[in-house]
């Protein structure tokens, strides 16, 4: 099936309130344009250099989401245009984003990434770390970041109960943070969870934003992506 065909099928399977981030990492501009022609406007990338290159060469009404691990010294390259940064996994990174937002006079939208998987390799905050940050005066002084919700990645496994449990834990974290810290912040509304292999489960557990790559564009050619 074509990219357009895959997109239609996936969109039809998603409830209306769930946003689709088309994960285009490693894929050429032609593939992105094929998706663009069908109306897709949100694309996700996980490498800064690739993201900047694609931003520069593709239509300016694309909303670019940084979905991968972000190094503090690279925030400056994406701060002028990035639409949402999914993977904020430390206070230091959030402060670096605030600093670059200030330089650009742009409030940068971010999601807090939580460690919900059993795998050690995945990045993310614990609820305790997040609360410590949110309670701090230093956090309250930040003016150029806006936290729009949470993000997480489940363990890469076929054990459905485990994946479901991990997604549930992210929904619970979202609810707790919303109640305690963001009850008067309507923008705190996103739960970014679910990829090609597990997005249907994620939607059942409350995802508002799924990040789908290979189901749209086909398998990627190299590892570690």
122 touches ligand PLP by CB under 6 A: no
Q: With respect to ligand PLP, which residue has the nearer C-beta, 137 or 224?
A: 224
Q: Which stretch binds ligand PLP (CB under 6 A): 90-98, 129-137, 142-150, 195-203?
A: 195-203
Residue number of the CB atom closest to ligand PLP: 213
| Residue in the block written with tokens 């090609």 | 196
Closest CA to 66 of 56, 10, 49: 49
68 touches ligand PLP by CB under 6 A: yes
**The one among 23, 70, 82, 116 contacting ligand PLP by CB under 6 A:** 23
Query: The tokens of 160 are what?
Result: 């459905």
212 touches ligand PLP by CB under 6 A: yes
3 touches ligand PLP by CB under 6 A: no
Q: What string of DSSP letters covers 24-89?
A: -TT--HHHHHHHHHTT--EEEES-HHHHHHHHHHS-TT-EEEE-S---GGGHHHHTTT-SEEEEE-
Alpha-carbon distance 204 to 209, whole Å?
Answer: 12
Residues engaged in binding ligand PLP (CB under 6 A): 23, 25, 46, 67-68, 153, 195-197, 211-215, 225
């Amino acid at each position: 099936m074509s990219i357009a065909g895959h997109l239609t099928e996936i969109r039809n399977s998603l409830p209306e309130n769930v946003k689709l981030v088309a994960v285009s990492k490693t894929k050429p501009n032609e593939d992105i344009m094929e998706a663009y022609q069908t109306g897709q406007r949100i694309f996700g990338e996980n490498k800064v250099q690739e993201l900047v290159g694609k931003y520069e060469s593709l239509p300016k009404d694309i909303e670019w989401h940084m979905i991968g691990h972000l190094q503090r010294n690279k925030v400056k390259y994406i701060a002028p245009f990035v639409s949402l940064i999914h993977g904020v996994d430390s206070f230091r990174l959030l402060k670096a984003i605030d600093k670059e937002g200030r330089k650009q006079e742009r409030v940068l939208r971010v999601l807090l990434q939580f460690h919900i998987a059993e795998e050690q390799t995945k990045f993310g905050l614990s609820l305790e770390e997040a609360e410590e940050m949110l309670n701090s005066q230093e956090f309250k002084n930040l003016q150029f970041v806006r936290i729009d919700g949470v993000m997480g990645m489940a363990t890469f496994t076929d054990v459905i109960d485990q994946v479901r449990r991990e997604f549930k834990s992210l929904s619970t974290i979202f609810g707790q943070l919303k109640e305690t810290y963001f009850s008067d912040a309507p923008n705190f509304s996103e739960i970014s969870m679910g990829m090609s292999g597990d997005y249907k489960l994620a939607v059942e557990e409350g995802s508002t934003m799924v990040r789908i790559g290979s189901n749209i564009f086909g398998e990627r050619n190299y590892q570690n992506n």
